Amino acid sequence: MRKKITVVGAGNVGATLVQRLAEMEVADIVMIDIPQTEGMPAGKALDIMESGPIYGYDSRLSGATSYETTAGSDIVVITAGMPRKPGMSRDDLLNTNAGIVKGVSEQVVKYSPNAILIIVSNPLDAMCLVALKTSRLPKHRVIGMAGVLDSARMRWFIAEALNVSMESVHAMVLGGHGDTMVPMPRFSTVNGIPITELLSKEKIIQINQRTCDGGAEIVKLLKTGSAFYAPSASTAEMVESILKDKKKVLPCAAYLEGEYGIDGVFVGVPVKLGSGGIEQIIQLNLTVEERMALQKSASAVKELSAALK
């Protein structure tokens, strides 16, 4: 029996994710959007299906505005929510998107009680908490897409600075998916060589800051929207690791209960992603400075989450 994925939200992130997943042939896919969009999700699904004969994939896609079609999903990805606009922080979206994520979570678990939820909606860490509390799923089955994206951005900036293949670069970004995220140069390498051996301290500081500002930089350039190519690629990597039980170690937003001295919030940390969702939270041996930065980021997430109405 084929695996089944539901993607909630047929906007730029959702539709691009559906296309990527279809081309990867990991599952059949249902794309859901609000009733006011009428035939839009079905139209986009049909358009992607009609690309199949050219690209050679046999994934089956459908689009709808009712949740009955999502029944029995193995993974549900929630991308629904208001996008960021220039001058708007992720935090500005808090209570508007919290209401959206709450409503979506209620519906998806009604029809797919055994699903794993991947949250993409911003502000990411707070929306994960909304989904966890609303769905009442075990914490290892509610995961936030954050660190994969932030680390991908950092990897590109490193590759660009050194003029090397992006395939040789690995990077690690921890913490909340916002201004207090924590790029980790000590755990970022080029074919195993720490970037601290290859780049000046000043250049590393510059890359760290650009990583933290990565989403805002794109919002400023686009003017009428936010990033969707890299977020959809990051989510697709997470989905593949779960459905294929690849057990990739990726930085994701996970609900912590004492790990890294943090309790009761979603924070980006390295995790092992397999068929059970988060199968292990990996605790790195951090320096005092790194631990303080992670604690500061977690405090910002906790403060934001406390502001949820």
Which amino acid belongs to residue 83? P
pLDDT digits (tens, 9 = 90+) for 172-220: 999 999 899 999 999 999 999 999 999 999 999 999 999 999 999 999 9
pLDDT digits (tens, 9 = 90+) for 220-265: 999 988 999 999 999 999 999 999 999 999 999 999 999 999 999 9
Pick the closest to residue 127 from 268, 266, 297, 269 (CA basis). 266
Domain with CATH 3.40.50.720 in the chain: 4-144
pLDDT of residue 224: 86
Instruction: Say whether 306 sits in a helix, a strand or coil.
Output: helix
d(CA 119, CA 269): 15
DSSP per-residue codes, 119-180: E-SSSHHHHHHHHHHHH---GGGEEE--HHHHHHHHHHHHHHHHT--GGGEE--EEB-SSTT
Which amino acid belongs to residue 224? T
Q: How far is CA 128 from the centre of its chain?
A: 10
pLDDT digits (tens, 9 = 90+) for 81-134: 887 667 766 567 788 899 999 999 999 999 999 999 999 999 999 999 999 999
d(CA 72, CA 188): 39
pLDDT digits (tens, 9 = 90+) for 285-303: 999 999 999 999 999 999 9
d(CA 122, CA 91): 8
Q: What pTM does this model have?
A: 0.95
Residues in the chain: 309
Residues with catalytic annotation? 177
Domain with CATH 3.90.110.10 in the chain: 147-306
Instruction: Say whether 48 sits in a helix, a strand or coil.
Output: helix
pLDDT of residue 37: 86
- R_g over Cα of the chain: 19
pLDDT digits (tens, 9 = 90+) for 34-69: 988 889 999 999 999 999 999 999 999 999 999 999
pLDDT of residue 210: 98
Q: What is the CATH number of domain 147-306?
A: 3.90.110.10
| CATH of 4-144 given 3.40.50.720, 3.40.50.1370, 1.10.3210.10, 3.20.20.70 | 3.40.50.720
